[in-house]
Chain A
């Protein structure tokens, strides 16, 4: 069956961090995954601190746009994924909020019903496409001395009851996708911990401390590369440069194993 999604890049990719978006689109082309680009707005994640209703409405508007096209949403960003999922959960459980959100959506002819699914790039690759399908495309596998530390990104993992991504503390999906490329994966205790980006503006010192502890943990686990599957995580790692460990996105990693560059 042809896989087709509405592609939700998120603000940072459409703004100043386009690399992850470009490599994700190339990867989807290589894997034969189709997508459409809609006039999406902010996923609502950044405003959730300040105004939950604004955040849910923002998310709901995106989902309503995808519902119009009868397409599931696929995003490469875990924060976008987490917030879209969270908003779906809120709308399912709060009839008042559901009503208010739909009243606003109606003003521009939209409607939220909650009938489509929110997917992350990793869940699309693992569940919808499947490991075997992916393996067929790998023509430039990595050598087994490439040891990759998968950095999960917390907003997709938790709260697990809402995100339904994987196990909240002992996930495996990311490693399984990486394994397809022939590279080894390492186990590192901090792989499911926060990268520090959410506090990077409020408290840069603390944010750096969180990031540094993760990188040290990955080095200690004998990794020679970190792989992310989240725009914000990648931005956070790149803020330190790549001197300690190279950091790549899952799209870059897979793209290279498929096309050789």
Chain B
């Protein structure tokens, strides 16, 4: 059954890898990508994989693999704590995979006198397990303790950590149960003892009960020195060459203390064998899930390092189109970008996930997949808030050119009919907007103390038009031959007579340069510029982006 489970998960894994690679060719992140023929892109992908994973560019590859793959310098630069977590998990797991899971193929010929139950291998296996588990604990701590990272962490992040933890914990449990297992002892005696002399075996039982923590159902006299001495000499002849003391498996050995009192029951229900199957199955689940989960980054992140470092992808447009999708797949959802994002505090007030770079990556991927869900609206309004400070790119341990993605996404979103509010507002006159908004249920505003609703704000206005005369926008618009629709003074007048709806969509409100000339010059102290700011706040909350989109 284990064999077939392995084959099934292996086939799923290979199928999944192919599925994901097909997406690299199938998805288009922007218009230029979509213009490339798919046949060309298949060849380009083949070429990229060959260049980066198989042949040529050896120096580049080795450098990338050594610094970014083995030492993970980029993660260290981004956050030493996360580096510690990732290094522990990565190295602990890789070493276990190579020298424990694949010991029949690797350890046996690579390591001197390798036997899984001998030291230092027993000790090292436990040590690796401890590394992985402590890495997971650090990772969880980080995910629970950094405000923004806690918010973005999803079921995928936790379940991958959970799966790895479960593999390691089940491994420890299996080892612990095997240490105390009488059945294991009996089987070993059957397989390796030449004699079937009962007295020798009972001596050995005593010796193993005392020194190797085996729990026997029948009481064994472990205080009988003569018996133990006899057991010792049998042990030396038959067992010692393959068995170090169980204490060296320091985690599993300590777990045996926990199980020893219930050894008979555990023995009866074959728990060690059940857990061994569980341990295997968890590994197979991991293998099958790899291409579909964030663990896929094991392949995509190094590939992305190479692709961004290489010249081929930037000169060859079909390869660029593929590389743009690979770079999205290289995201490990670690959240470093969002942690350093300049506009993350804005997200905390407005609450659109697509303000945060780590979440925008997923949304851009959906866009590239050609799906047009609501997420694109969120992406459009969230991406518009980006101030292009580039902190996301600088802090990305996977080396994804994030800022470049956001800039291209802006164009691509417009191409798909999702415009920025500044452009949407131009599609209708202020009066038309007033009618559109009247038919909608107004959205809740976070900020409530409005000056524009307070009649006292304009009480002193004498419509002297000084605000209009000093406004540089009014002047520039007039001299360019396209006068502004309403002047600041007229906007104030609309508000004064309670026609706020009519004011919200005016060009004056939307093209205000916020230079505060009007407000500073007003002889009556009307906060003209502050009111215009507030009207934009209100209009932003009211604009329904779907109104003009084709989505």
Which residues of A come within 8 Å of B, CB atoms? 11-12, 14-16, 39-42, 44, 46-55, 57-58, 61, 94, 96-97, 104, 107-108, 154-155, 157-160, 168-169, 193-194, 196, 198-199, 201-203, 205-206, 209-210, 213
For residue B35, CB closer than 8 A to chain A, the reply is no
Contacting residues, chain B, for A58 (C-beta < 8 A): 343, 345-346
Q: Give the docked Cα–Cα distance between A47 and B512 (Å).
A: 14
With contacts A108-B147, A209-B479 known, is A50 near B390, CB below 8 A? no
Chain B residues in 8 Å Cβ range of A12: 387-389
B519 at the A/B interface (Cβ < 8 Å)? Answer: yes
Inter-subunit contact A53/B447 (CB<8 Å): yes
Give me the 9 closest cross-chain CB pairs, A-B, nearest first: A158-B516, A11-B389, A11-B387, A54-B349, A154-B515, A194-B515, A15-B390, A42-B342, A209-B476
Indicate if the CB atoms of B342 and A52 lie closer than 8 Å.
no
Known: A49-B537, A53-B447, A209-B480. A15 touches B511 (CB 8 A): no
CB atoms of A41 and B536 under 8 A apart: no
Find out whether the CB atom of A159 lies under 8 angstroms from the CB atom of B514: no
Q: Are A210 and B345 in contact (CB under 8 A)?
A: no
Q: What size tier do the contact residues of chain B reach?
A: 35 or more
Residues of B within 8 A of A47 (CB): 343, 346, 385
Query: What residue of chain B has the Cβ atom nearest to residue A61's Cβ?
Result: B345
| Inter-chain contact A53/B513, CB cutoff 8 Å | no
Q: How far is the CB of A98 from chain B (nearest CB, A)?
A: 12
Decide yes or no: A159 and B387 within 8 Å by CB, A41-B344, A61-B345 being known contacts: no
In the bound assembly, the distance between CA atoms of A15 and B534 in angstroms comes to: 29
- Closest Cβ of chain B: how far from A122's Cβ, in Å? 18
Residues B461-511 near A (CB distance < 8 A): 472-473, 476-477, 479-480, 510-511
Question: Which residues of chain A come closer than 8 Å to B341, judged between CB atoms?
Answer: 41
- Residues on A with C-beta less than 8 A from B520 are 158-160, 168-169
Known interface pairs A41-B341, A50-B536, A193-B472; 16 further A-B residue pairs with C-beta atoms within 8 A, sorted by A's residue number: A11-B342, A42-B387, A46-B387, A49-B514, A51-B540, A58-B345, A94-B449, A154-B513, A158-B515, A168-B516, A198-B514, A202-B422, A202-B511, A206-B473, A209-B479, A210-B513
Q: Are B513 and A199 in contact (CB under 8 A)?
A: yes
Q: Are B519 and A53 within 8 A (Cβ)?
A: no
- A52 lies within 8 A of B385 (CB): no
Q: How far is the CA of A97 from the CA of B343 in the complex (A)?
A: 19
Q: Is the CB of A206 within 8 A of B147?
A: no
List 27 A–B pairs whose Cβ atoms lie within 8 Å, in order of A's numbering: A11-B387, A11-B388, A12-B389, A14-B342, A15-B387, A39-B340, A41-B345, A50-B385, A50-B540, A51-B446, A55-B346, A57-B345, A58-B345, A58-B346, A94-B449, A155-B516, A158-B519, A158-B520, A193-B515, A198-B512, A199-B513, A202-B510, A205-B480, A206-B511, A209-B476, A210-B473, A210-B513
* Chain B nearest Cβ from A162, distance in angstroms: 9
> Which residues of A are found within 8 Å of B346, using beta-carbon distances?
42, 44, 47, 51, 54-55, 57-58
| Inter-chain contacts of A213 with B (CB < 8 A) | 476
| Contacts of B304-355 to chain A: CB distance below 8 A | 340-346, 348-350
A49 and B540 contacting across the interface, CB-CB below 8 Å: yes
Q: Given A11-B388, A205-B480, are A41 and B342 neighbors across the interface (CB < 8 Å)?
A: yes
Contact with A along B524-535 (1 / 0, CB 8 A): 000001000110
- Complex contacts, B340 vs chain A, CB 8 Å: 39
A16:B388 contact, CB within 8 angstroms: yes
Which B residues touch A160, using CB under 8 A? 520
Q: Are A42 and B515 in contact (CB under 8 A)?
A: no
Question: Shortest Cβ distance from A146 into chain B, in angstroms?
Answer: 28
In whole angstroms, how far apart are the Cα atoms of A49 and B147 in the complex?
A: 26
The docked-state distance in angstroms from the alpha carbon of A49 to that of B511 is 11
- A52 and B534 contact, CB distance less than 8 A: yes
Q: Are A15 and B519 also in contact (CB < 8 A) when A47-B385, A57-B348 are?
A: no
Given contacts A41-B342, A158-B520, contact A51 B537 (CB under 8 A): yes
Q: Please indicate the chain A residues that have their CB under 8 angstroms from the CB of B448 in the complex.
A: 96
B457 within 8 A of A: no
**B422–A104 CB distance below 8 A:** no
Alpha-carbon distance A206/B471, docked complex (angstroms): 13
Task: Determine which of A42, A44, A51, A155 lies in contact with B447 in the assembled complex, contact meaning CB atoms within 8 Å.
Answer: A51
- Which residues in B have their C-beta under 8 angstroms from that of A203? 511
Contacts of B23 on A, CB cut-off 8 Å? none
Min Cβ gap B513→A in Å is 4
* Contact A194/B533 with A14-B389, A199-B513, A206-B480 known, Cβ cut-off 8 Å: no
Asked if residues A104 and B348 are in contact (CB atoms below 8 Å), the reply is: yes
Bound Cα distance from A41 to B510, whole angstroms: 26
* B350 and A54 contact, CB distance less than 8 A: yes
Q: Assess whether B446 is in contact with A53, with CB atoms less than 8 Å apart.
A: yes
Contact A198 B349 (CB under 8 A): no
Asked, given contacts A15-B387, A41-B344, A47-B385, whether A107 binds B147 with beta carbons under 8 Å apart, the answer is yes
CB distance from A238 to the nearest CB of B (A): 16
* Nearest residue, chain A, Cβ from B340: A39
Contact between chains at A155 and B514 (CB < 8 Å): yes
A14 touching B472, Cβ below 8 Å: no
On chain A, the residues within 8 Å of B536 by CB distance are 49-50
CB under 8 Å from chain A, chain B span 445-460: 446-449
Of B342, B422, B513, the most chain A CB neighbours within 10 A belong to: B513
CA gap between A11 and B512 in the complex, in Å: 22
* B134 CB within 8 Å of chain A: no
Q: How distant is the Cα of A197 from the Cα of B519 in the complex, in angstroms?
A: 19
Bound form: Cα–Cα A203–B346 in Å: 25
| Whole-angstrom CA separation of A155 from B480 in the bound complex | 25
CA distance A206 to B515 in the complex (A): 14
Residue of B343, B446, B477 touching A41 (CB-CB under 8 A): B343
Task: Decide if B107 is an interface residue (CB 8 Å cutoff).
Answer: no
| A104–B349 touching, CB < 8 Å | yes
In this assembly, does B233 line the interface, its C-beta being within 8 Å of a C-beta of chain A?
no
Task: Kindly state the separation between the CA atoms of A50 and B422 in the bound complex, as whole angstroms.
Answer: 11
The CA-CA distance from A206 to B519 in the complex, in Å, is: 21
- Chain B residue numbers with a CB within 8 Å of A94 are 449
Q: Which chain B positions have C-beta within 8 A of A108?
A: 147
